[in-house]
Structure 1
């Protein structure tokens, strides 16, 4: 059997026996690709539990207690103490649920916050009592001063009222001196009198100073002051009759001195008169005797 020549002139390749063997196993193919490692599920690591509100609760509790111990700042300790209690309760709740690990600090914050609140409340109550006691004491002092002033006013009014007497009455000045002003008597000045105008009415005032004490007393009364019915000061009448007598010198124990003075009053204000007198004006205020004229 002949093999035809290819048209391009090349010689055909002779077939090998292997190419013609139908029972021959197929030639080995390429080596299989290497397989990678078997895929594994990622490891689930336990998540760390977060720190809760224990630290701020503890810090605020310490601050509340520390501030509460200060004398002038205790009144602001309630705020950090209250926040410490709130944060501590929140921290304890989170710790029970397993969301936080600071249960001890949260509990300490609650305890310290409670102590801070107690300190703030106790200090406030104590301060309130102290302030109330101070206010009550000041009020008592004011009441005492007011009562003393009222008593002094009433005493002064009583003394002032006691120093206004009617003619013929006696007033005790002190040191055993007792003064009596008699009811005025008409006085007829002589022709040489001074201080008396024509048409006026003249009256004589008799003053008696008695020493009821145990020691003599030097009198320094000055002249009595006499006012007419209108309250105007009247003129002292001096004449040559010798009927006037001025009080001066000493008055012995158990003795008395008598002074006589004449005064001229205008006719339209001569219905009443007032006499002011003191045995020693440097020691005692004047007393007043008043009443109608004859």
Structure 2
């Protein structure tokens, strides 16, 4: 009998593998996506910046963990870090855009306030005669304040050499699908010409027109169809003119039409009393 007894061999259980720690990479990707989307809106530049920094740090940390074998989502972590960097860039761009817009708005308000104060002090808001055409100069103030009512063909001339002219009303037949016309009423069209003889651009898109008809001053609705109703649009460069044709709906017995044209917020509105 052998001196040594052979011990039986039992298979050993495999050592459990360490669980992958992918939390950093996944969190970096999520925060990077949210940060990049926030950066698309300039107002949320601060949120994009905060999330971008966190995503960048967590993404780099997750990538380092993956290199050491502690995680398996190296690509996800790298994507999160890249999105974090993009969020930071968009945050800076958004901040610049937002602050510039605020500065421009403040400058515009200050200019409008200064112009209004200067006009009231100098009395430029009053009407005056300008050769053959009656003119009205000045910016700011209430519409029609100390202003002369103009007649057909007269021009309102402002201190910045912006000139607005309204023609005599002409009878108009609205189209079949016209908007603003009431059956039994009459319609008249008025041609308005804006001449920018100044040195600065004029935003014609801010021009508005209103009208009242008859002795009672009943509001005359503006008519829109395929021929009339197209408003002023775009910017009017110095030395250029723009023309628009307005049509208004009036009671059948109205004998006059008062048309009010307001160039923009910094110019007084001007009125024309037109005989029908």
TM-score, normalization by structure 1:
0.44
Rg larger in structure: 1
TM-score, normalization by structure 2:
0.46
